[in-house]
Chains A and B, each alone.
Chain A
Amino acid sequence: MSDEPSADPTTAPRQVSRRSFVGYLLAGSTVVAAAEIGLGNTPSAEAALPTVAVPADIYDLTDAQGDAALPTQGLIKVQVNKDGTASFELPRAEVGQGIETAFAMIVAEELDLPVEKVHVTLAPARPELLMNQITGGSASIFVLFTPVRVAAAIARQALLRAAAIQLGSVVDRLRSKAGEIIAPDGRTLSYGELAEKAAGVDTTAIRVTLKDTSDFTVIGTRQRRLDARDAITGRKRYAMDLDVPGALPAMICRPPTLNGTVRAIRNAAEVKAMPGVTHVVTVPTGVAVRAKTFGQCIDAIRALKVDWNAGLVASASDESVLVELKRAELPLLVPSVPLLTKVRDFDFTFYFRSGSPLEPNCAVADVRADRATIWASAKVPVVAVQEIAGKLGLPMSKVRFNVVEGGGSFGRKLFHDGALEAARVSKACGAPVRLMWHRADEPRQGRQHPIATSRIRVAHLAGNILSFEQRHTSVVTDFKHGFGDVITATAARLPFGDVALSQAIFLLTQFVPYDFGLVTQTLTESNQHFNTSAVRNIYSPDVRAASELVIDQLAKETGKDPVVFRREHLRKPRVRRVLDKVVAEGKWGRPMPAGTAQGVAIHEEYKGASACLVEIDCRPETVNRPIRDGVGGPRVTKVVYAIDPGVAVNPLGLEAQMHGGIMDGIALALTASCHLEDGHFLEASWDNYPYTRQWNVPGDVKVFVMPSDNPPGGGGEAGVAAAFSAVACAYTRAVGALPKYFPINHKDPLFWEPKPFVPPVPASPTDGLEHLI
């Protein structure tokens, strides 16, 4: 902002150091410091106490009055406790991406407290935060980095002030270290001793100067996850592990075709009389059963006899949807090009994929006549509260949504399908429930990453690229989570509201990072009857894999090495730097045996830059290696990944996210998709949907997190697009033919027998003791 000329210097905001910010010490019994969310994204310095603006139709006058009385509610707060620890309630979801640990580090840094003494918990839904309580687009660190630092710095400032009085000194002569304030004469006071004395009497604005990045001692270090011990001892509690009194297991008997509905239950009384079963009720998504154990729920579902109405895509198949997409495809414009220009057309298909985490959709709900409490992992809990309250006929203020640590997300937890169902089932039963989806439900009725085609036309002349046009055509991606904004979420339910939002998201995330003359990229959508969601990294994996494959083809046609060609056309030095890193570390161009090859790709997103180099083995002895109940196929043997993420709060955590992106990329390129036939997806098991398993894991994976001065960007999704693209490019080079569709095994004969659709869930086996390891 400082570079922009100001029209009138007298009214221009006063220029302040980027490290100097104002926040608040709040009234309380101990130190509670706060900053506005979003602070740091604008240079506003002398912030007034924030007011909370919300539309009246979703948030009524009474609520607004309540909030007006509590102007600091919209803030994020760091508290110092009497035991010398600090607490921070994070208005985001932890789903494995490690943000609890990252924010503990950020608080620890500015507060001068050991990381282990910072307790980060997840905030329940806070409707007053509106757009500021979404975990998506890998934006959490970017958005909250500065405000959390400011809040922690203010807490430290308050402790210093209180210590100065206690020690008969002045703030400037004191220093803070590892949870203590130290006087020049060596006397010390612990944060615990000072917490109450430093408490605010009323809300006070305080200016603080944040640490210079060169003084960081915590941020940028490799910090292990703070919840690791709980995770590896079985103590970590996910939604299904919570003991809410009376919340018995519940599951849903789902229709045999996608989004079918219940016409009639033929044997409700009989099923209700089965051992353990307490309720059999109809909900919009099927027939719910509640029982003492999930085993009894499964038995009850298998015993139910239900007449179903078919869903809206009752006879659809991969082929029929592709015909629709072809019809919707926008024409590529033949640019007016000089004589002798080569014009090349490319066309790729990306089949449906399931983003389901290992933890299936699940939630605990206790719905009473006048209120409801929900426990679930959710990335946009405010929207969840809004919808659940609406469906239950309760005011939003009567729905408490507790955000629980999630067992993975990959886009799924942007939606609250399990929570809404649990609420409906609890209401219908008049009793609390602990609801779980069966694994078979996930690919069959759960949200899919939509099938899409990506066409590219390129014109080149004498080694110069004159134009690059990309037309992405996709089944509609459901963005009703509205990227966190209750208002957008409401707007998205209007006819075709989603389409406009998808366009916005496509345009906000997609660009061609190369200088290719005239560049256009468009998204066209068709068919909104599927259950979809953006899976990790939204459009980028498909759009970028198509582009990077074409770039390799252009390099070949112009007689250039793929790396040389990319370097020549890349716009940003930052991207060239990560490319150079993988080229050097991965020994690009080393001799490889026939049937094996290297591939390389780059990607720029989330304020960061990535490059990935892979080696793949496509020799018959590898491709045909015997794998029981799984796909072998080509094996990626080596991956070298470099990312410049901006300042990396926790490089170790970021590396882990890249590992995840790499495993996703391998699956997207080589093994994992869902097959649509006769209006249903055939997959019903992890042995039908071959997400990467150990037998396809590369023996050698190296991730380099590059030092960077850029602001911290996002990590959770950053690894997928470059990894998928590099695997696709390596495969193409190894087999010498450009694939037409992904994953490359989609049209191979199924290596498994589709499970029956009625009953919708398989019986659990009984022969487990015959397979001891």
Chain B
Amino acid sequence: MPTHTFVLNGKSVTVDVADEERLLWVLRDVLGVRGPKYGCGINVCKACTSHFNGRGFNPCAVPVGALKPTDEVTTIEGLAGSVGRDLHPMQEAWLEHDVAQCGYCQPGQIMMAVAVVNRAKRAGREITEADLDNIRNVCRCGTYSKIRDAIEDGAQRMGAG
């Protein structure tokens, strides 16, 4: 089987799996990285949201063969480390607002929140209500209002941090 090398949470990893194996299963079943969750497998629920070279993406919809050795994949486990802290400012906001209920969607929610805030930053603007409305991540526990509050708070903290 072909080998694939990419950077995972700051460290280069090499796996021996078929090209078309989706990255979600490479992470969860081959590498044992269990933070990104399965909720649909078809890029709809966003529970698996992680970062690809600093941008939000969904590993359930990416064949591992598409990755280059220099590509950086960050999962929830590596988020705080990516900014050299124990907790990312967005995670701090999540704690502050006591967002999680069952918690199953929350790794994906946080990774998406950071991506949405960074996208606004890249565009040189603040996040908007429309940005929040357009977040597709499902939370079946219904923590949506707290997620909105936490993202606004986290965006402030990211700006200050």
Contacts and interface: CB of A to CB of B under 8 A. Distances in A.
Nearest to B59: A768
B28 A294 contact: yes
B41 A769 contact: no
B146 to A, nearest CB: 7
A439 B45 contact: yes
A325 B22 CA distance: 45
25 contacts: A96-B104, A96-B141, A227-B100, A229-B95, A233-B35, A234-B35, A358-B39, A358-B45, A359-B102, A407-B102, A407-B103, A408-B101, A408-B141, A438-B41, A439-B45, A652-B98, A659-B144, A691-B138, A694-B148, A695-B133, A764-B60, A765-B42, A766-B20, A768-B43, A769-B66
A749 to B, nearest CB: 20
Contacts of A761: 41
Nearest to B36: A234
A275 B25 CA distance: 14
B75 A410 contact: no
B25 A293 contact: yes
Contacts, number: 229
B94 A232 contact: yes
A697 B144 contact: yes
A772 interface: yes
Contacts of B57: 768-769, 771-773
A765 B24 CA distance: 12
Contacts of B26: 293
A406 B20 CA distance: 31
Interface of A: 95-98, 224-225, 227-238, 240-241, 243, 249, 275, 292-296, 298, 356-360, 405-408, 410, 436, 438-439, 629-630, 652, 656-657, 659-664, 685-687, 691-695, 697-699, 701, 761-762, 764-769, 771-773
B107 interface: yes
Contacts of B135: 694
A98 B139 contact: no
Interface string B59-86: 1111100100000000111001000000
Contacts of B94: 228, 232
Given A764-B61, A765-B42, A772-B57, A356 B29 contact: no
A408 B136 contact: no
A294 B25 contact: yes
A511 B58 CA distance: 47
Given A687-B44, A772-B55, A358 B138 contact: yes
Interface of B: 1, 17-18, 20-26, 28-30, 32, 34-45, 47, 52, 55-63, 66, 75-77, 80, 87, 91, 94-95, 98-107, 110, 112, 115-116, 119, 129, 132-148
Nearest to A234: B35
Contact of A660 (B22, B132, B143): B143
Given A232-B103, A232-B107, 19 more contacts: A98-B101, A227-B103, A228-B99, A293-B26, A359-B104, A406-B102, A408-B104, A438-B41, A685-B44, A686-B44, A692-B142, A693-B136, A694-B135, A694-B147, A698-B145, A764-B42, A766-B62, A771-B61, A773-B116
A695 B57 CA distance: 20
Contacts of B80: 233
Contacts of A701: 145
Nearest to B86: A233
Nearest to B21: A295
Given A224-B95, A225-B98, A237-B34, A663 B144 contact: yes
A249 B98 contact: no
Contacts of A767: 61
A294 B58 contact: no
Contact of B103 (A231, A249, A691): A231
A408 B106 CA distance: 12
B136 A691 contact: no
A653 to B, nearest CB: 8
Contact of B106 (A231, A237, A294, A298): A231
Contacts of B63: 766
B102 A408 contact: yes
B45 A686 contact: yes
Nearest to A660: B142
A228 B100 contact: yes
Contact of B140 (A229, A410, A687): A410
Nearest to A222: B98
Contacts of A768: 23, 43, 57-62
B79 to A, nearest CB: 8
A664 B141 CA distance: 8
Contact of A358 (B25, B41, B105, B145): B105
Contacts of B133: 694-695, 697
A685 B107 contact: no
Contacts of B99: 228, 232
Contacts of B36: 234
A773 B39 contact: no
B142 A659 contact: yes
B98 A656 contact: yes
Nearest to B112: A773
B144 A232 contact: no
A432 to B, nearest CB: 14
A708 to B, nearest CB: 22
A359 B38 CA distance: 7
A231 to B, nearest CB: 3
Contact of B76 (A234, A699, A765): A234
A664 B139 CA distance: 11
B72 to A, nearest CB: 13
A656 B66 CA distance: 40
A313 B62 CA distance: 38
A652 B132 CA distance: 23
A765 B44 CA distance: 10
B55 A232 contact: no
Nearest to B150: A232
A293 B29 contact: yes
Contacts of B32: 243
Contacts of B28: 293-294
Contacts of B87: 233
Residue of B22, B41, B94, B133 ringed by the most chain A CB atoms within 10 A: B41
Residue of A629, A692, A698, A761 ringed by the most chain B CB atoms within 10 A: A692
Contacts of A657: 101
Contacts of A436: 38
Given A234-B77, A238-B104, A656-B98, A762 B144 contact: no
B21 A686 contact: no
A439 B42 contact: yes
Contacts of B110: 232
Closest A-B pairs by Cβ, 5 of them: A234-B35, A96-B102, A231-B103, A663-B142, A407-B104
Contacts of A764: 22, 24, 41-43, 60-61
A643 B79 CA distance: 38
A767 B60 CA distance: 10
B26 to A, nearest CB: 8
Contacts of A97: 101
A232 B102 contact: no
Contacts of A629: 44
A97 B102 CA distance: 7
A481 B26 CA distance: 37
Contacts of B58: 768, 771
A295 B19 CA distance: 12
Contacts of B134: 694-695
Contact of A439 (B21, B22, B40): B40
Contacts of B115: 773
A661 B87 CA distance: 30
Given A225-B98, A439-B42, A659 B143 contact: yes
A772 to B, nearest CB: 4
Given A439-B40, A685-B44, A768-B43, A96 B101 contact: yes
Residue of B17, B22, B80, B91 ringed by the most chain A CB atoms within 10 A: B22
Contacts of B38: 240, 294, 360, 436
